[in-house]
Amino acid sequence: MSQATFGDDDLFGEAANEMREDVESSLEEGWAALPAADDVWETDADNVLGVLNGLNSALDVGDAEDHLRDAKKWFTMGQRADAFDDAADLEEEITDLEDAITDIADASEQVSDLTSTIPALKSTLADAGADEADDGDEDAEDEE
């Protein structure tokens, strides 16, 4: 069938299918760009700071935000053009991916805060331990 025989409805239907495929493809790529569960859960670090640094690196969403943006862009275009017969599944998956990215970003922010706090806390506790040791030495001298 030549392109000249396609009616407007046929072309619109074809474009709508391609738009849906673009949204679905962007969503798949978005999910694939998220960190793997094992990368977030498992560690080889020797100390807390190493664990936090490894976790912070693992909590990188990569290109997931870009893929989500593409999915939302094509979804919005399709919705406004009334191109989708049923778009509830796409809308739900977009929301799920967006929520996942937000959760990962929030976790990354919390880990970053801990990464900067833990060394200072260790230093404070080490100083407090040194002060206690000094006080213990002074008490021993006073008893002599």
Segment 81-137, tens digit of pLDDT: 888 888 899 999 999 999 999 999 999 999 999 999 999 999 999 998 777 766 655
In this predicted structure, what is the pLDDT of residue 83? 85
In this predicted structure, what is the pLDDT of residue 13? 81
Question: Above 50 in pLDDT, residue 29?
Answer: yes
Q: What is the pTM of this model?
A: 0.78
The residue with tokens 């593409």 is: 70
Question: Above 70 in pLDDT, residue 138?
Answer: no
In this predicted structure, what is the pLDDT of residue 86? 87
Question: Above 50 in pLDDT, residue 22?
Answer: yes
Which residues lie below 8 Å from residue 104, measured CB to CB, with a gap of 6+? 34, 35, 59, 61
Question: Above 70 in pLDDT, residue 139?
Answer: no
Which residues lie below 8 Å from residue 64, measured CB to CB, with a gap of 6+? 30, 31, 33, 34, 97, 100, 101
pLDDT range class, residue 1, cuts 50, 70, 90: very low
User: pLDDT averaged over the chain?
Assistant: 88
Nearest residue to 114 (alpha-carbon basis) of 56, 68, 34: 56
